[in-house]
Structure 1
Amino acid sequence: MKKALLNIFALSSILTTIGYIMDGDTNVPSMVLRFTEFFLMLGMVFLFMSFFYFGSVFIKRSFRKLRS
């Protein structure tokens, strides 16, 4: 589980960085606001990816228990 969380975090940080670079909004002069936006987006992407990954693993295990 620790390796899965680390992989999800790495993938979400890559996706967040790409999304933040490709963002077409005007630059905000406050550096604190930039970091806040980045880390909040990183947290949201991480939570969504974790929810779907662990949810699908749970459903897959539940179906395997039903079949046996």
Structure 2
Amino acid sequence: MKNRILNILAIAFVITTIGYIMDGDVVKPTMVMRFVEFILIFGIISILTSIIYFGVNFAKRSFIKA
């Protein structure tokens, strides 16, 4: 279980980094705002990735049992 969560966090970090680099917004005036934006995006991506991953695993196990 721990390994799965670490993999999800690693995937979310890579997606967030790529998305943040590709973002075309004007540069924020403070460094704190940049970190806050990155952390919030990372949180959203990791939650969405977890929901998708565990949802697919739950559906797969449910179909196997049925």
TM-score tier, shorter chain, comes to: over 0.9
Unaligned runs of 5+ in 1: none
1:41-67 C-alpha deviation (Å, 9 max, x unpaired): 00000000000000010011011111x
Unaligned runs of 5+ in 2: none
Q: Given residue 9 of structure 2, which amino acid in structure 1 is its aligned partner?
A: F
Q: Does 1:12 align with 2:12?
A: yes
Q: Which residue of 2 aligns with 1:39?
A: 39
Equivalent residue of 1:25, what SS? coil
TM-score normalised by structure 2 residue count: 0.96
Runs of 4+ with deviation above 6 angstroms? none
Q: Given residue 55 of structure 2, which amino acid in structure 1 is its aligned partner?
A: G
Rg (Cα) greater in structure: 1
1:10-31 C-alpha deviation (Å, 9 max, x unpaired): 0110110111011110001111
Percentage of matched positions with identical amino acids: 53
> For residues 17 and 37 of structure 1, what CA distance do their matches in structure 2 show?
11
Q: Does 1:22 align with 2:25?
A: no
Aligned length: 66
TM-score normalised by structure 1 residue count: 0.93
